[in-house]
Amino acid sequence: MRDFLPEYAAGSLDPENKAQVEAHLPHCPTCRADLAAWQALTSNEVPPADLISQVLIRSALTPVTPTQRRRVFTLLAKELRLVRPSLLAASAIVLGIGVLLTTAQADGLTLIAPIVAAVGVGAVAGPHRDPAYELIATTPTSPRLIILARLTLIFGYDLTLALAATALPARPLITTWLGPMALLSALTLLLAVLAGTEVAIGAALLLWSLRVLAGSAFAHAAGLPALIRATWATNPTTLTAALALAAAAAIAAGREPLRRPRATHLA
């Protein structure tokens, strides 16, 4: 519902969604407060920086109700049903190969975990291959929530598998793969939303191939290979960039219409 508040405050929301907002507001003090903030912004009564600060603080301090918690778990459970079991099985198998390689080569899991997570995220985030696209487009559930739910499911699944691998005797360090895994997955998610699954996965494979080359064939080279290795490292900058890219993907997913070159199986 909060996605509609800026347009409602500006008077540009379509009649159907406007009616939903007006029916919702009497029962939700948080949305009423947020609406008042957006109305203040449209009337130039509050500086934008102060408004953003107020909204963020209010959102952080607002407790999650049991009803909201149940809705989150319900959404995750329903989205999980749309994830193909073959995708989960393939992720587990490939990560298992990475663990086996780690016993012979220290960076086996480091090289495999990021691209496995990125391909999984790209496969479920792009509208071009979404089996439930038309149904989602006609429901009041925000596309942003759906994208974040799928990111949570796939990235969380692959993260759990990779963390389990760190408990094995080979013990690959978390810091060797966590940053690259988060950054590559977030970038793939954004590309999948903007350009489709094929483009996103292709870009992820290309970028990660360059990282593998920079860390193997050009392991001791300076210049561009060194810059590539530094980019795909685990540090505050990498993790912050991953969060920013994931947020950008969620924002982009909420914009309609999504590009749709052909109908899916419902046509």
The per-residue pLDDT for range 128-156, each reduced to its tens digit, is 555 555 455 545 566 677 778 888 888 88
pLDDT at 109 over 70: yes
- Same domain? 31 vs 90: no
Specify burial of residue 259 (Cβ count, 10 A radius: 0-12, 13-18, 19+).
Answer: exposed
Residue partners of 243: CB distance under 8 A and separation at least 6:
186
How sure is the predictor about 184, in pLDDT bands with cuts at 50, 70 and 90?
Answer: very high
Q: Are residues 161 and 216 in the same domain?
A: yes
**Cβ 264 vs Cβ 134: under 8 Å:** yes
Q: Does residue 55 surpass a pLDDT of 80?
A: no
% pLDDT > 70, the chain: 70
Report how many domains make up the chain. Answer: 2
More confident residue, 78 or 161: 161
**Residue where one domain finishes, among candidates 26, 42, 62:** 62
**Looking at the domain assignment, is residue 258 inside a domain?**
no
The confidence band for 188, taking pLDDT boundaries of 50, 70 and 90, is very high
Query: In which band, very low, low, confident or very high, does the pLDDT at 206 lie, cut at 50, 70 and 90?
Result: very high
Residues 10 and 142 grouped into a single domain? no
At 141 the three-state DSSP class reads coil
Give the pLDDT of residue 204. Answer: 92
State the pTM of this model: 0.62
Out of 16, 44, 62, a domain closes at 62
Q: Is 180 within 8 Å of 238 (Cβ atoms)?
A: yes
Is the domain of 143 the same as that of 22?
no
261 located within any domain: no
At residue 84, what is the residue type? Answer: R
Does residue 149 share a domain with residue 20?
A: no
H/E element holding 67?
helix 66-80
Residue 41: give the domain boundaries: 2-62
Do 91 and 128 lie in one domain? The reply is yes
Q: Is the same domain home to 31 and 118?
A: no
Q: Which two tokens stand for residue 147?
A: 């994208």
Phi, psi of 100 (to 5 degrees): -65, -40
Structure tokens at 168: 């094995």
Helices and strands (H, E) in the chain, number of each type: 13, 0
User: Is the same domain home to 183 and 204?
Assistant: yes
Rounded Cα distance between 213 and 103, Å, is 21
The residue behind tokens 């929530």 is 145
Pick the last residue of a domain from 12, 40, 62.
Answer: 62
Alpha-carbon gap, residue 1 to 81, rounded angstroms: 24
